[in-house]
Amino acid sequence: GKSFEKLRVYNQHLSISHKDEWNKILEDWWKKTEKGMPAREIAAEYNVNILTVYKYIKKMKKKKGLL
């Protein structure tokens, strides 16, 4: 879909080629967040903007019914 295309452009430096890969990354971010890893460390590890991490962690919290 279009949002995925946009996401791919936005995260080009992550070299994501399909949604499964992105979902794995999000799962990893989620696990790290649950273990108490700060968003800034996740952002640094993945070379992405911290706001990207915040945004998707928030989305996942909503999805998992934690917000």
Domain ranges of the chain: 2-63
| Residue pLDDT, tens place only, 15-67 | 566 677 888 889 999 999 999 999 999 999 988 889 989 999 999 899 889 87
Query: Terminal CA-to-CA distance of the chain, rounded, Å?
Result: 26
The amino acid present at 54, given as its one-letter code, is Y
In angstroms, the CA 3 to CA 41 distance is 26
3-state helix, strand, coil in the chain (%, to 5): 75, 0, 25
Instruction: Classify domain 2-63 at the CATH topology level.
Output: Arc Repressor Mutant, subunit A (1.10.10)
> Under a CB-based contact definition with an 8 Å cutoff, are residues 35 and 45 in contact?
no
Higher pLDDT, 2 or 28: 28
pLDDT of 2 higher than 70: no
Q: Which residues contact 34 (CB under 8 A, 6 or more apart)?
A: none
